[in-house]
Amino acid sequence: MMDATEASVPKLVDFGLAKMIGPGEVANECLGTVAYASPEQLKGVKYDKAVDVWSLGVIFYVLMSGTLPYEGPT
């Protein structure tokens, strides 16, 4: 069933490298696909679920441009 209210939350998962981070929890390992990872994840500093906003921005960029915003070997 689809939730069309303003309180609905988008959910995207990289099933191979996903981890649930609950309220108040932090992580410091790089989880997910590197091309969509936030700077905090790549630096190895503590982060919370707010880094998902960065990843969502990268997804929107790819959908609009057809390319990743950054290129490189790592």
Domain count, the chain: 1
Domain-embedded: residue 57: yes
Q: What's the rounded Cα separation, in Å, for the pair 52 and 30?
A: 13
Residue 3 identity (one-letter amino acid): D
Domain-embedded: residue 2: no
CB atoms within 10 A of CB 25: 10
- Rounded to an integer, the average pLDDT of 59-71 is 91
Q: What's the rounded Cα separation, in Å, for the pair 28 and 46?
A: 4
The DSSP letter of residue 65 is: H
Domain-embedded: residue 7: no
Domain-embedded: residue 53: yes
Q: What is the pLDDT of residues 26-55, one digit of tens each?
A: 877 777 778 888 888 888 888 887 888 898
Higher per-residue pLDDT: 62 or 26: 62
Range of the domain at 53: 34-65
Domain-embedded: residue 40: yes
Higher per-residue pLDDT: 8 or 13: 8
Domain-embedded: residue 42: yes
User: If pLDDT is split at 50, 70 and 90, which confidence band does 1 have?
Assistant: low
